[in-house]
A and B are shown apart, each in its own frame.
Chain A
């Protein structure tokens, strides 16, 4: 069975600090996709990134970066120079490579960035 673990329930930082959100996953599939979503208090899920299991290159997008390591089944997310607007719940998710492609989510990490 597929499983996603986000061990950090809540993180609080001061603006401009760097912060890393951890995501560990379990799957028996060889082809799968990993996602990060941002969920602000309004509730909608904002897509941040999708990564397939064959692409282990790290990715950087502005202040956001992702570190995918198959050897440790982790897909961690770092926000550099955090801002108050980054405050939200961040959800990591896993999808099988075929079939329904439904997402299995972690419980999320609530990030609070204080001014």
Chain B
């Protein structure tokens, strides 16, 4: 296992379009997190899953955002009707519950809405 993988690395989209990002966590990790990072800021928590269950969503996650982890493995984050304010780095992380080992981040997907 080579770590947390995120695709695509970069995405440029026109305002109003829908985009979807994918995250493949470390296989034995049961928790998966999504964070968003804007320029000059630290990452901010969006949501997390334990196995396939979405257990918490931040108020930052508007109704245009939806995340899934259908089989408890990979996850997708979809943004509908993108706005320029959605431009950010979207980071995925995975861990074992209890932080027993690693809290590993992927390389992120950089979204630019034009």
User: Total interface residues on B, using CB and 8 Å?
Assistant: 27
**Per-residue A-contact encoding for B16-60, CB less than 8 Å = 1, 0 else:** 000000000000000101010000111111001000000110000
B85 at the interface (CB under 8 A from A): no
Cβ-defined contact, A44 with B44, below 8 A:
no
B110 at the interface (CB under 8 A from A): yes
Cβ-defined contact, A91 with B42, below 8 A:
yes
Cβ-defined contact, A44 with B42, below 8 A:
no
Beta-carbon nearest neighbor of A102 in chain B = B45
Name B41's contact: one of A37, A44, A107 (CB within 8 Å): A107
Cβ-defined contact, A102 with B91, below 8 A:
no
Set of chain B residues within 8 Å of A104, measured between Cβ atoms:
45
Cross-chain pairs A/B with CB under 8 angstroms, 18 sampled: A33-B99, A35-B103, A44-B106, A45-B43, A47-B102, A47-B104, A91-B42, A91-B43, A95-B103, A100-B48, A101-B95, A103-B33, A104-B45, A105-B42, A105-B43, A105-B44, A108-B41, A108-B42
Q: Which A residues form the contact surface with B (CB < 8 A)? A: 4, 6, 33, 35, 37, 42-45, 47, 50, 91, 93, 95, 100-108
Q: Which B residues form the contact surface with A (CB < 8 A)? A: 31, 33, 35, 40-45, 48, 55-56, 89, 91, 93, 95, 97-99, 102-108, 110
